[in-house]
Structures are given as C-alpha cells and as structure tokens.
Amino acid sequence: MFAKPKSPAFLSRPATPRGAGLDLRAKADKVIEFFKKPYVAPLTAGSAFILVVIAFLNLAGDPDAASQSVRIKMPKTTAAKAPPPRSGAGEAAEGETFTLDSLGLFGDTPVEGFNLDPAAEAEPGHAVITLPGDETATAAEAGPRAARIPLAQSPIAGLVQTTNSGPLPMISPAGLTPASAYARPFRSDGRPYVALIVGGLGLNPTATRQAIDQLPPEVTLSFVPYTQGLQGWIDLARASGHEVIVEVPMQPTNYPDTDPGPQTLMANAKSDELQNKLAWSLSRATGFFAVSNYQGSAFLKDKAGAQTFMSVLKSRGVAFIDDGQARGLQGAWSRASADRVIDSQINAQAIQAQLIGLETTAKNRGSALGTGFGYPVTLAVALRWTQSLEAKGIQLAPASALLHQ
C-alpha cells in the first residue's frame, strides 16, 4: 500500500575498493622519489621563481616608475624658423602652454614701488606703469628711438656644424668665431659705458615682444632654450639690432625645489651626460654670440663640471657671461661677469638704485655690466634709464663690449 522508500544517495554509492588507498600512496611515493633526483628540485624551484617575478612585473606596471623624472608639458613642435607669436599685450598666443612661471623664471614676488593699472591705457592693450615721482611709462613708450639697424642674419656661413640634434656653433676654418661674428658692433666714444642684459625671454610672447621692440638695440637680450620657435624670436631680435644670448640651465643648491628643467647641467654628472645636455642647449638655434647661466649655484662649484662646460664653449668659439656667480671662472672663448643683478628686489625704487650703482661703477672703472629679467617693472624702469644716459655723459653699450679673452 505504501511505496518503498528510496535509499539516501550516499548509501547507494558503490563502496571504495580496499586497494585504492594503497594505489594513491604509491603514486605519491613515486612523485617524491622523482623530486629527490639530482637537479630536479632546484630547476623546478628556479622556474617557479621566474614565473613569480614575471607575474609581479606585469601587475606592478612601469618598472621605471620609481626613477626620478621631470615632466614638462611642452607645446607642439613647430619648425625652427617658425615666426614668433605676434599676440598683443595681455594676450596669450593660441595654444601656449608655457608661462613665465613654468620654470620659476618669474615668481609670485609682490611688485612694489609702481602701479600697474590695466584699466588705464595710453593705447589699446598697453597698461600704464606709474613710476616713483609720479612719472609714467608704458610698455609701448619708445621715446626717441635709436636707428634700428639689423644685425647680420644667421646662420653665417662657416659658423655652423650640422648634427642630428640640430645646428651647433663652431669656429670657421678662417678662424671666425660666433662670439665675434654675432656680437653687436661697438665703438667707444671715450665716455664711460654701461651694458644691460634682459633675460628670461621667449616663454612669454608679450614680454618678449616688448623687450625686442621697445628697448634700445644696444640692450642685449637673453633667451630660454625651452622656448617654442626660438629661432624665430632670435631672428626678430637681431633684425631689431639686438645681440642675443642663450641661457643654459644649471643645478641650483636648492634643487629639486628649484628645477630648471630636464636639460639642467648637474653637479658631479658624468662628462658625456654633461656634454650631451650642453649640446642640446647650444643646438636650439643659431645667431647667439654667448651663453649665460640660468641658476647654477651648485653646478658652478663643481670644478670638473664647470671646466668641461668652459672647454666646450672655448672649442666652439662661444663666450660665457654669468650673473656674477662665476666671477673668476675662466676657460670659455671670452668672458664677462655681471656687476649687478638689477631686479633681485622686484620694485621700481630698488631697480633704479641698482642702475644708478652701475653708473657709479662705470664712472669709476670705465665700464659696468648689469643683468635682469623681463619683468614688466624691469622693462619700464630700464627703458627710462637708458633714455637718461646721454644727459649723464654715459654711453650705452652691448654686453659683448665687456668681453675679455
């Protein structure tokens, strides 16, 4: 009447033969005996280790991730002869990535002693700067401008060595050097003379264009090697009568807090590395008569590195002008050191005081050299100062006039 209950599944499984356990133990003994053979265990362990390392590297990603690196977002590369940006004052060129602060060239130091009022414009796009004494100057103010006689277009035949990385300066077979061929001609009229270098140019189109167009052609202009279209800027500066310097980034004592960029000459670097980085800076363009240091408080103390640097410049006929940190260092084709950095304090009164100090040095010694950056206040004060020199009996000279062998 009731159906017969089904047996549980585990009760219906076939029984395990008595000999099965012995067979498993025999197989395990065979495996153990295999690994006891010479070389089998070490080879197996080594293979397992290699597989673990490969798996780790695949999972960890970039094996160079811990290496020190400098990453700078560069603009798209353009032809070396590309014309420089022609944006108006206050406008950034389209696609511009670098700014003056990108490499720490122009910090956020408060500018005191003058009033920059973008709303007050003498001409559209030109802000008015009120200098001490209620004098005013604008970035477009030219005053009585000296004749703009263009310098010879670069490159000059025989002064360029063509390389895969770019054109390198060289001494011509006839003995002509870039230090002499690309310098602005100068003849002393017997009066004391002063020279001024304005540096940090190229990264900011507005400041660069103002320095080229508004400063007298006797003022020497110094360019950052990371500048996009550097050759175009140098061509424009020389067409306006300015001789040109290219800045070489060098390691400061507070590196890497202050980092001059990926092509920085490092203290205690290997000679090959040092020469390659210097060649990079020298090959960015043609038409410069000298190089200058950007930073370098640590590198210039490295005797071996500094000597290699100077030897390369001597072999290529290039001058070296420093901001005063390398005074006494010899070895380049020709040399000069600045007497003053005119805008170490970025305010109009301090800059004027430094320029007056240059005048005093020139009167006492016969000549003097100052250097500064293309800050708006520096450009405005320097412009007014250059216009006052004639009445003071002082001649304005290019920096190359102070070079010595």
Domains and CATH numbers, the chain: 143-402 (3.20.20.370)
Residue type, 200: G
Dihedral angle of Cα 170, 175, 180, 186, to the nearest 10 degrees:
-170
Give the pLDDT of residue 220: 98
Main-chain dihedrals φ then ψ at residue 269, nearest 5 degrees:
-75, 160
What's the pLDDT score for residue 159?
98
Beta strands 220-223 and 193-201: pairing type?
parallel
pLDDT in 10s for each residue of the chain, 405 residues = 333 344 344 334 444 455 555 565 666 566 566 555 555 555 566 666 665 555 554 444 443 333 333 333 334 333 344 445 433 333 333 333 223 333 344 333 334 443 333 333 334 334 344 444 444 444 444 444 556 899 999 999 999 999 998 999 999 999 999 999 999 999 999 999 999 999 999 999 999 999 999 999 999 999 999 999 999 999 999 999 999 999 999 999 999 999 999 999 999 999 999 999 999 999 999 999 999 999 999 999 999 999 999 999 999 999 999 999 999 899 999 999 999 999 999 999 999 999 999 999 999 999 999 999 999 999 999 999 999 999 999 999 999 999 998
> What gap in Å lies between CA 170 and CA 339, rounded to an integer?
29
The amino acid that residue 401 corresponds to is: A
Q: In this predicted structure, what is the pLDDT of residue 64? A: 36
Q: Give tens-digit pLDDT for 122-155.
A: 343 343 444 444 444 444 444 445 568 999 999 9
pTM for this predicted structure: 0.70
Q: Are 210 and 238 in contact (CB under 8 A)?
A: no
How far, in Å, CA of 327 to CA of 304, rounded? 16
Closest alpha carbon to 80 in 235, 201, 212, 246: 235
